A and B are shown apart, each in its own frame.
Chain A
Amino acid sequence: MKISWPHMGSLEFVLSSVFEELGLDYLLPPPSSQRTLELGARYGPEFACFPLKTTLGNFIEAIEAGADTLIMVAGRGPCRFGFYAETQRRILEEAGYEFRMVPLEFEPGKIPATLRKLRELKQGRSWSSLVRAIKFALSKAYLIDRLERQALHQRYLDRERGATTKALEKCYRMVWEAGSYDALRRVESEAFDLLRSVPGVERETVKVGIVGEFYLVLEPFFNLGVEEQLGNLGAYVERNIYLTDWLRPSGKNPVAGHHDRDSEEAAQPYLTHFVGGEGLHSVGGTVLYQRHGFDGVVHIMPFTCMPETIAKSILPQVSRDLGIPVLSLVIDEMTGKAGVATRLEAFVDLARFRRRAGERGLDYSLQPAF
């Protein structure tokens, strides 16, 4: 049994460490590429959301590389994500691929079925070793998130463009190779030292926050490296979701589920009800960024994403009321890198001018969202 799963940002380091730890056979899909996108768009339903197509492309490439068991998380709505596994299984079967899809569901009613599936996946390893492996992988995930956050905060100070990104990649490696908690602790200080030792320059700060759909915010290949682009343009970047927000037991959903009370409360004047996915958190996050003195918010969403479309309809109002510029980037397989780069450039410039004007106490008119 060769197990595989789609790419999603740094998820590969976390999940593969679980399988390494258990000594199970697994296979990472080839790195996402233009071909992944083309495959996904060819087989995927016409106006299904973008992540469905990209993960479908990952699955196809994984099967071609020899994987036979595909893991996917499933759920029960209201967002389409809960139905991905089923839809992708149908599409792949119709396209003639041979594989087994293992959808893992984490609602209270589905726990026994999920445990049965996990028992198959662990192939005779003990439950306690599985739990240990997951726990260890989670601590790696927490560390990775902190490293990513550090990279976001310091990238704009790079003397040499891309130095932080390179250092971060080295850090991922180091974390992945750590085999014990002791090693992980050592890696933690080494990795932070490595990141902090990247030579920097003095620079005027302009703060940009990122909100948006979980997968697209986390996946640098498909969001066209928005984080990195913003950093290179000279923005101190923060984002409101990290991988562990969905992995850690929190709030209403005890196993998987992102439940951030602060941003839900902040969203209240504009969006009063959960709309699936991160719709509510995108609105709430924007309000929180404004409260924390950020100069602009970039909202990333896949084309036709239902919760984010609602957020996008409401964000102009938030932007008008609070006077914080919001740039909504809608991304799908047709999105060109140059177009996004131009818009980000203009956006960072705008945020910088507003900041300067604000510091000098000049009056500047409120910008509508665009």
Chain B
Amino acid sequence: MRYVWGWSAMIVGIPGGLLYYRYGKLWNSFLQALGAEVVESGETTRSILNSGVSKAENESCLPVKVFYGHVLALRDKVDAIFVPRLVSVRKGTHTCPKMLGLPDLARAAVEDRIPIIAPTINFQEGMWANYKAVYSLGRLFTHNPVRIIRAGVKAWREHRLYLERLTLGLDHRSALRGEAESLLCEGRELRIAVIGHHYNVYDTFTTMSLLDRLSSMGVDVVTADMVPEEMRRQELKRLPKEIYWSYEQEIAGAILACTRHRLVDGIIFMISFPCGPDSIVRVLCEQENKRLGGVPLLALVIDEHTGEGGFLTRIEAFVDMLWRKKGERVREREAVAV
């Protein structure tokens, strides 16, 4: 590698797009524990989206365009940008091809002006390869192996804590902070599952604060993280062909579990245009949902042109419909009781 660093700490930028909405805590605390100065590009804004859209390929999906924007926002502020290559995060699965090529995309985006730190994580090749990748990442910052291992353990603990908070019903932002004024799911009457990739569900800008809006409508939100993992696994086992994308497994598992066990009153499936795996998984979920006689499912496709008005109308109509349906059911029950 060709990084040169003097006595001052290296400034490493973490773009706040794509898998940041899952591993951001892990990356941040690992790099900080190694003594690097970490700069995050923060939340998506209009200008980040615009610069991403103007730089990225037309055919890229919305989150990749947003990611480009985050990379460009960091370009002039940091010594290096951290874009790990996650090939597989579970044995026998892959991530989306765009994640496989992400560091190369980032390199093309910054036109080779600053280095990209890109450790490769691949669970297909066994854990040892991953440990080695993390260790050699640590060697960029320190020569002390104990420090690297300690940083790794600390980061992993914080990451587990973050994921646990997500399963308890905090959204991404409050899970990062570690405190929340309110939970997504508080036992209100109507419950809606908002399921999709982390970066489609938790990015407040591209989803136009969907989670907050649902909360303010007095609706409980269930995310894929809050559906117990065992339930999701059971659902996946029932499928005739195994899904081979890691994150799609979570999504499909969560949707099917919600339908089969009637965990929710309705499901909103967040898809960004033109997400490849989602387009396939959507067919699967819609069909299985129909077959199980399941719950209403709204597939919301968002892209950079999505207007707030149309988006909100659909959400409101969906929620209204669910209320009416719920009301009918309640009335039926009361009639029987009388």
A51 beta carbon closer than 8 Å to chain B: no
Tell me, in angstroms, the Cα distance from A299 to B56 when the chains sit together.
17
Chain B residue with minimal CB distance to A314? B108
Let me know if B60 is at the binding interface, CB within 8 A: yes
Q: Which stretch from B34-42, B192-200, B277-285 is at the chain A interface?
A: B277-285
Whether A87 and B97, one on each chain, are in contact in the complex, defined by CB atoms closer than 8 angstroms, is no
Interface positions of B from 225 to 248, Cβ below 8 Å from A? 240-245
Interface-facing stretch out of A41-49, A128-136, A215-223: A41-49
Beta-carbon nearest neighbor of A308 in chain B? B59
Find out whether the CB atom of A314 lies under 8 angstroms from the CB atom of B105. Answer: yes
Question: Judging by beta carbons under 8 Å apart, are B59 and A45 in contact?
Answer: no
Does A307 reach chain B (CB closer than 8 Å)? yes
Tell me the B100-119 residues at the A interface (CB within 8 Å): 100-101, 103-105, 108, 111
Q: B280 touching A80 by the CB < 8 A rule?
A: yes
Contact of B274 among A47, A79, A272, A312 (CB under 8 A): A47
B94 A304 Cβ-Cβ under 8 A = no
Return A329 CB to nearest CB of chain B, in Å: 12
Q: Which of B98, B111, B240, B276 has the most A CB atoms < 10 Å from its CB?
A: B276
- CB pair A47–B96 under 8 Å, yes or no, is no
Q: Confirm or deny: B172 has a beta carbon within 8 angstroms of a beta carbon on chain A.
A: no
Separation of A279 and B102 alpha carbons in the complex (Å): 13
Q: Nearest chain-B residue to A311 (Cβ)?
A: B101
CB atoms of A317 and B108 under 8 A apart: yes
Closest residue of A by beta carbon distance from B273: A47
Q: Which among B59, B103, B242 is the interface contact of A312 at CB below 8 angstroms?
A: B59
Residues of A within 8 A of B277 (CB): 80
Q: Smallest CB–CB gap between B73 and chain A, Å?
A: 18
Asked if B87 contacts A273 (CB within 8 A), the reply is: yes
Q: Which residue of the partner chain, among A91, A271, A316, contacts B104 with CB atoms under 8 Å?
A: A271
Write the nearest CB–CB distance from A307 to chain B, whole angstroms.
5
When C-beta atoms are compared, the residue in chain A nearest to B58 turns out to be: A330
Q: B54 in the interface, Cβ–Cβ < 8 Å?
A: no
- Per-residue CB contact flags for chain A residues 68-95 toward chain B (1 = under 8 Å, else 0) read 0000001011111011011100110010
- A267's nearest neighbour on chain B, judged by CB, is B104
Given the interface pairs A270-B104, A304-B279, A313-B105, the reply to whether A76 lies near B244 with Cβ below 8 Å is: yes
Residue A274 at the chain B interface, CB threshold 8 Å? yes
Complex Cα spacing A305 to B279, Å: 12
Minimum C-beta distance from B268 to chain A (A)? 17
Asked whether B103 lies within 8 Å of A317 as measured between CB atoms, the reply is no
Most buried by A among B85, B87, B104, B284: B104
Q: CA of A91 to CA of B100 in the docked complex: distance in angstroms?
A: 29
Indicate whether A275 reaches chain B with its CB closer than 8 angstroms: yes
> Do residues B280 and A77 form an inter-chain contact, with CB atoms below 8 A?
no
Which of A76, A77, A103 counts the most chain B CB atoms within 10 A?
Answer: A77
Asked if A289 is at the interface (CB within 8 A of a chain B CB), the reply is no
Instruction: Select one of A78, A272, A310 contacting B95, CB under 8 A.
Output: A78
Check if B57 is an interface residue, CB within 8 A of chain A: yes
Q: CA of A118 to CA of B37 in the docked complex: distance in angstroms?
A: 59
CB nearest to B94 among chain A residues: A78
Q: From residue 77 to 123 of chain A, which have CB atoms closer than 8 A to chain B?
A: 77-80, 82-83, 85-87, 90-91, 94, 103
Q: Given the complex, which residues of A lie within 8 Å of B58, measured CB to CB?
A: 330
Which listed residue (B56, B57, B120) contacts A273, Cβ 8 A?
B120
A132 to chain B, nearest CB (A): 31
- In the complex, the answer to whether B244 meets A276 with C-beta atoms within 8 Å is no
Q: How far is the CA of A316 from the CA of B55 in the complex (A)?
A: 12
B60, B87, B120, B284: which contacts A309 (Cβ < 8 A)?
B60
Q: Does A57 reach chain B (CB closer than 8 Å)?
A: no
- Report the Cα distance A332→B138, complex, angstroms: 45
Q: Is A277 an interface residue (CB 8 A)?
A: yes
Q: In whole angstroms, how far apart are the Cα atoms of A90 and B279 in the complex?
A: 13
Q: How far is the CA of A317 from the CA of B101 in the complex (A)?
A: 14
Whether B287 sits at the interface, judged by CB under 8 Å, is yes
Nearest A-chain residue to B281, judged by Cβ: A83
- The verdict on A26 contacting chain B, using a C-beta distance below 8 Å, is no
Binding site for A on B (CB under 8 A): 56-60, 85, 87, 92-98, 100-101, 103-105, 108, 111, 120, 240-245, 273-277, 279-280, 282-284, 287, 301
6 contacts between A and B (CB under 8 A): A45-B283, A77-B245, A82-B244, A87-B283, A94-B287, A310-B100
In addition to A310-B98, A312-B59, 4 A-B residue pairs with Cβ atoms within 8 Å of each other are A46-B279, A279-B101, A305-B276, A314-B105
